[in-house]
Amino acid sequence: MTLSTVIAYLHAIRHYPLFSFTTVKLAMTTCIRRLRKASDYSRWSKLSSLSRDWDSRTAQIACLIAKSSSVLEFGAGRMILREFLPEACQYTPSDLVDRGQGTFVCDLNVPKLPSFPKHDVAVFSAVLEYVNDVPRLISHLCRVVDVVIASYAVTDWNVSVVTRRAAGWVNDYSSREFENIFLKCGFHPDKIITWQSQKIYRFVKTYSSLAPTNNR
């Protein structure tokens, strides 16, 4: 441990004496990774990092998807969404690491995002918390899909920045701030439900609100 780490830790416990050393250490690791604009390959390469406790959230998300949709799931993890999808849906998993079954491998924190294949719906279930630049990502996505379904741990209910960083989350949006990111790209929330302390949004593109193109 370097001297600067010790100083940062002492500073943190002065303000947040209730946090354990492990929590503060995890939080600081996330801060450093965020400064480096990097992603946590080490954590997400381990299957043990993916919990079955999240499957009830995935089931709720699946209820927001229309039958016969083509679905691109970012941060697909165990790809449980596929099992919950309504009939005749086509499913494409994407993730930071190759999860098999034709995963579209994509790190959402790379300097230049790849072209995403066109789909009806994009899904982010507990993924946007790990993305350093969410506005850039949604702007990049907006001409590829008409619907985005995203869960997010809003700061309205998940207040502590130390706890957020200890969970590996690199951004902090309130409900209003989160919704505004999508509104700026022409996506309007038409359904908002609650899962534990998180919100699950379905955003639908409204073409009239998109910026005019140069094609007249």
Q: Which is nearer to ligand SAM, 9 or 54 (CB)?
A: 54
Looking at the chain, the number of H-run helices and the number of E-run strands are 8, 7
Per-residue tokens: 175: 């409900």
The minimum distance between CB 205 and ligand SAM, in angstroms, equals: 22
Q: How far is the CB of 130 from ligand SAM (least distance, A)?
A: 4
Q: Show Cβ contacts of residue 208 under 8 Å, excluding neighbours closer than 6 positions.
A: none
Nearer to ligand SAM, 23 or 198 (CB): 198
d(Cα 206, Cα 191) in Å, to the nearest integer? 14
Interface contacts to ligand SAM, rule CB under 6 A? 39, 44, 50, 54, 57-58, 74-77, 95-97, 107-109, 125-127, 130
Question: Taking the complex as a whole, how short is the minimal distance between the CB of residue 201 and ligand SAM, in angstroms?
Answer: 14
Q: Least distance from C-beta 74 to ligand SAM, angstroms?
A: 6
* Closest-CA residue to 54 (of 141, 127, 159): 127
Shortest distance in whole angstroms from residue 135 CB to ligand SAM? 15
Nearer to ligand SAM, 12 or 137 (CB): 137
In the numeric block, which tokens belong to residue 115?
């072209």
CB nearer to ligand SAM: give 33 or 182: 33
- Comparing every residue's Cβ against ligand SAM, the nearest one is 75
25 exposure class (CB count in 10 Å sphere: 0-12, 13-18, 19+):
middle
Within 13 Å and on the Cβ side, how many CA atoms surround 202? 13
> Toward ligand SAM, which CB reaches closer, 8 or 136?
136
Q: How far apart are CA 169 and CA 79, in angstroms?
A: 21
| C-beta of 39 vs 158, nearer to ligand SAM | 39
- Cβ neighbors of 51 (< 8 A, separation 6 or more) are none
Closest distance of CB 140 from ligand SAM, Å: 13
